Structure 1
Amino acid sequence: MTTLDTREDALVATLRTTLAGDVIDRADPRYDEARAVWNGLVDRHPAVIARCAGTADVVAALAAARAHRPPVSIRGGGHQVAGSAVCDDGLVIDLSGLTAVTVDPETRTVRVGAGARWADVNRATQRHGLVVPGGEVSETGVAGLTLGGGMGAVQRAFGLSCDALRAVEIVTADGVVRTASATEHPDLFWAVRGGGRGIGVVTTMEFAARPLGPQVANALVLYPIEQAAAVLDAWRALVPTLPETVSPEFALWSVPPDPELPTEMHGAPVVVAGGLYAGPAEEGLEVLAPFARLGTPLVDATAITDYTASQSALDPLFPAGARYFFKSHFLEHIDDGAAAAILDAGRDRPTPGCIVVVRTMGGAIARVSDDESAFAHRGAAFNVSIDAGWTDPAMDDAAIGWARRGWDGLAPFGTGGVYVNFAGLDEDADRATSFGAHAGRLDAIARTYDPDGVLAGAAVRP
């Protein structure tokens, strides 16, 4: 038996005597399923997975981590593209069972367990005509998206997901359960709003909700790829004229296999333009109408839909187990050079699942001061993500290479910052580009609450 085997056995033994939840080691028949995450490109083999039944189990798991010092990763929804939820030869603190969502419609407060996904939140809040600003795929984990900032379809109207946070329950590396808010442990509260992972284990989040729904207006217009340059120019001119109740998007993608669309169109490269209106639905149709006047549309699917339906519409196009590699840049503006680089990035996409997306920022995001939270990109006007998606492992090099080339081509036009939730694989993550001037403050907070580096492996690695 090797030293590694002995240490793993000791870690597993400790967890089995202290956890109420399941302890899954390499010999467990559930192991392969338990270690799998959303991104099928990630294939890591932890020593043990501690499926926590509650906060007390998190405290116990951290005690085992302090005693045996394995690498540690923290799993919420398991959706982060870099696969940070799972580590090799270490301890996964698995929160995926903590999915409770409770809504107080009187105070518009929503408490969310760290294993919940946005679909869980949307179902609960929409019963009361409320929303918490989430992402664009409802299967995304709430905790991971929020800790990294949380861009989404209503971000200009309501801000990032982390901007809606009012408090968190967090277990720090010393095993102490703390509430972090604007008045309690404000340093931790600052850090969890955009600082990514590794400061502690967040078990519960409390959000402020906003009125919206159940029906919303949503613009979705497809244009022929041959019109890409003209549509992008028209989109750039349209964006400054739209109210903050719209967060306009532009994408270079392929027609999805939607049964409502002609079969012969499926997989064809197209330009996509649109956005959701964060206000009265009937009013939104008029505001969104210009998205269908950027060129000659192939399809104008602008309509009033249920908010929950609009938030889950993309779920089938980003299935769990497919392979993903995302990279992004923040931009202060899109001049002609940046526009050309965006179009270049969208050329020669190796699979229909590869996409280039331009998201508009500003609005409520920019009204939060730079130092109010750890999110370091408040001044950006746009985020451009180059998202490779594919299923065949033989395509790994081609798909990742395509995304890297597009990202490199856009680099001269970016701010130098990247979105931590779209940071490629862990080896691509860089604290300076993810957190900018906030990186030093985040490191100091981590040293305060984790001086021995118990959770160092759970943080974004330089």
Structure 2
Amino acid sequence: MVSRSVGGTALTDLRAGFAGDVITPGDAPYDQARTVFNAMIDRRPAVIAQCETERDVAEAIRFGRAGGLEIAVRGGGHSVAGMALTEGGVVVDLRRMHTVVVDPGRRTARVGGGAVMSHLDRATEPYGLATTGGRVSTTGVGGFVLGGGSGWLDRRFGLASDNLLSAELVTADGRTVRASEEENPELFWALHGGGGNFGVATSLTLRLHPLPEVTAALLMWRPEAGPDVARVYRDFLESAPDEVGGGLIYLTAPPEEFVPADMAGKLACAVLITYAGGMQEMRDVAEPMLDMDHDAEMITELSYADLQCMLDDPPGYRNYWSAEYLASFPDPAVDAFCARAADLLVPSPSQHVLFPQGGSVTRGSGDHPIPWRRAPWVVHPFGLWEDPADDERVRRWAHDVRADVGPWSTGAVYLNFIGHEGEDRVVAGFGPDNHRRLAAVKAEYDPGNVFRLNHNIRPG
């Protein structure tokens, strides 16, 4: 329920001047409004402020602070740790603020703070333009970009944060602040990886790139072929052009026409090749993988927006993810990675993933607080399951994966890929020097640490 220190009058006043909706326990939309992507998260906020405007955002923050209530900020609601919700506090829900305005001449998009990837991708699609997005269509743009932003196109166009041109934030004291290379440049630097620590991002302006066509190839093998496939894939990516993205993925083979019936529902080793170009170009480039004796194949040209939906994670599952960034992927690391795939929960949507980096990711700004961009590989155990009895099993599997590849780890980590894993992992997400600099920015814009439901940077 609402904190005693707030009282009914404060809630009435908030509703009176609010353009959106203010939802409390007992209201019909409450349970739906508090549901997030990870079914493990079951928190009951006192107030869910579904904002329509920047003024709504500022008023919701003031309401929460006046009542001594913890404040959560919700965009896409995809945080594996459920950081978009608070128990007994206020949720600043941005989902109604999802407008995307494309300027095809300037090749930019102005994206509302509550937009998800499908809003952005469908808006840019008619112009043959795109920018690096998350690997599923339901990811929130704001949290994705401000956390760094790794996706299918990052080897070609850089990380999502590399394409951030400006941002508008509502700060803890209710002010609207704009950050760009010219305005508040230190804050702008901090927004390249520092996440939601500094304010509520109500809009982002992103650089777009011409992308008239995309080709995707999904190849599958029975799991015993995995180590050989992984070695060929590693060697292929080390010389592949920037247009190539994708990953090596152990997963449950789907019951699709292109999958042999005896493989469906069982563990398989797959390679997804995404290519920023046409099918024939992709076939020429990906010849080393296509020439392997695979058991299933699906190759298609499609729009980038459709590619983003291709591996959408189904809602309603319990989730646990982690990651380890690797300085190299030699044969012993290949063997360790592939051996652990046997512990993957099958059948389920869980995935045991190796993503490549390199290309424009590595060439991006070394000044940004993103030390993990220099790693050529990332191992990403991605658990989704239904039965609470499997909770500990999946958590243990994820951390066993990290331990297996630990000898080749850089120590850095992309925080969007993990939940709560301790203060040391937060520091590893930025590097010690960057973390101290970020703490100084935090002290300027949020000295009271109002925005702490995130991979938190305490004010320096």
Report SS of the residue matched to 2:371. Answer: coil
Alignment match, 1:431: 426
- Aligned mates of 1:341, 1:368 — CA distance in 2: 30
CA shift in 2, pair 1:46/1:227, >3 Å? same
- Aligned mates of 2:377, 2:7 — CA distance in 1: 45
**1:396 pairs with 2:385:** no
1:188-245 CA deviation, whole Å, 9 max, x = no partner?
A: 11111211222110001111100012x3222211111111111111112211121111
Alignment match, 2:33: 34
Q: How much does 1:184 deviate?
A: 0.5
Q: How much does 1:424 deviate?
A: 2.8
1:162-195 CA deviation, whole Å, 9 max, x = no partner?
A: 1111111111112111111111111111111211
Report SS of the residue matched to 1:377. Answer: helix
Alignment match, 1:330: 325
Q: How much does 1:427 deviate?
A: 5.8
Report SS of the residue matched to 1:62. Answer: helix
Alignment match, 1:286: 284
- Aligned mates of 2:35, 2:412 — CA distance in 1: 30
In the alignment, structure 1 segments of 5+ residues that lack a partner are none
Q: How much does 1:281 deviate?
A: 4.2
Q: How much does 1:357 deviate?
A: 0.9
Contact 2:323 2:380 in 1 (8 A): yes
**1:350 pairs with 2:349:** no
- Aligned mates of 1:406, 1:46 — CA distance in 2: 34
- Aligned mates of 1:225, 1:455 — CA distance in 2: 44
Superposition pairs for residues 159-238 of structure 1, below 5 Å?
Answer: 159-213=158-212, 215-238=213-236
Alignment match, 1:99: 98
CA shift in 2, pair 1:242/1:458, >3 Å? closer
Q: How much does 1:258 deviate?
A: 2.9
Report SS of the residue matched to 2:136. Answer: coil
1:346-399 CA deviation, whole Å, 9 max, x = no partner?
A: 12212332211111111111112321x232312111111001111122221222
Superposition pairs for residues 58-207 of structure 1, below 5 Å?
Answer: 58-207=57-206
> Which runs of structure 1 show a deviation greater than 6 angstroms over 4 or more consecutive aligned residues?
none
Alignment match, 2:11: 12
Superposition pairs for residues 44-59 of structure 1, below 5 Å?
Answer: 44-59=43-58
Q: How much does 1:14 deviate?
A: 4.7
Partner amino acid, structure 1, of 2:147: G
Contact 2:165 2:205 in 1 (8 A): yes
Please give the root-mean-square deviation of Cα atoms over the aligned residues, in Å.
Answer: 2.1
TM-score when normalising by structure 2: 0.94
Partner amino acid, structure 2, of 1:282: Q
Alignment match, 1:275: 273
Report SS of the residue matched to 1:184. Answer: coil
Contact 2:278 2:301 in 1 (8 A): no
Identity of counterpart residues, as a percentage?
36
Q: How much does 1:432 deviate?
A: 1.0
TM-score when normalising by structure 1: 0.93
Superposition pairs for residues 362-401 of structure 1, below 5 Å?
Answer: 362-371=358-367, 373-401=368-396
CA shift in 2, pair 1:234/1:447, >3 Å? same
Alignment match, 1:308: 305
- Aligned mates of 2:394, 2:233 — CA distance in 1: 27
Report SS of the residue matched to 1:197. Answer: helix
CA shift in 2, pair 1:260/1:334, >3 Å? closer
Q: How much does 1:77 deviate?
A: 1.0
1:396-445 CA deviation, whole Å, 9 max, x = no partner?
A: 12222221222222223211122211113476883212222321111111
Q: How much does 1:335 deviate?
A: 1.6
Report SS of the residue matched to 2:156. Answer: helix
Report SS of the residue matched to 2:324. Answer: strand
Report SS of the residue matched to 2:148. Answer: coil
Alignment match, 2:436: 440
- Aligned mates of 1:431, 1:126 — CA distance in 2: 35
- Aligned mates of 1:186, 1:230 — CA distance in 2: 48
Contact 1:345 1:407 in 2 (8 A): no
- Aligned mates of 2:205, 2:68 — CA distance in 1: 31
Contact 1:329 1:411 in 2 (8 A): yes
Q: How much does 1:15 deviate?
A: 2.6
**1:265 pairs with 2:260:** no
Aligned residues: 456
Report SS of the residue matched to 2:245. Answer: coil
CA shift in 2, pair 1:365/1:418, >3 Å? same
- Aligned mates of 1:166, 1:40 — CA distance in 2: 34
Choose 338-347 or 68-77, whichever is displaced more: 338-347
1:70-121 CA deviation, whole Å, 9 max, x = no partner?
A: 1111100111222111111111100011111111111111111111111111
- Aligned mates of 1:457, 1:107 — CA distance in 2: 35
CA shift in 2, pair 1:165/1:224, >3 Å? same
CA shift in 2, pair 1:281/1:186, >3 Å? farther
Alignment match, 1:405: 400
Partner amino acid, structure 2, of 1:335: P
Alignment match, 2:245: 247
- Aligned mates of 1:364, 1:416 — CA distance in 2: 21
Contact 2:6 2:66 in 1 (8 A): no
Report SS of the residue matched to 2:269. Answer: strand
In the alignment, structure 2 segments of 5+ residues that lack a partner are none
Contact 1:219 1:276 in 2 (8 A): yes
- Aligned mates of 2:10, 2:321 — CA distance in 1: 34
- Aligned mates of 1:37, 1:47 — CA distance in 2: 16
Partner amino acid, structure 1, of 2:331: D
Match of 1:297 among 287, 294, 297: 294
- Aligned mates of 1:459, 1:274 — CA distance in 2: 30
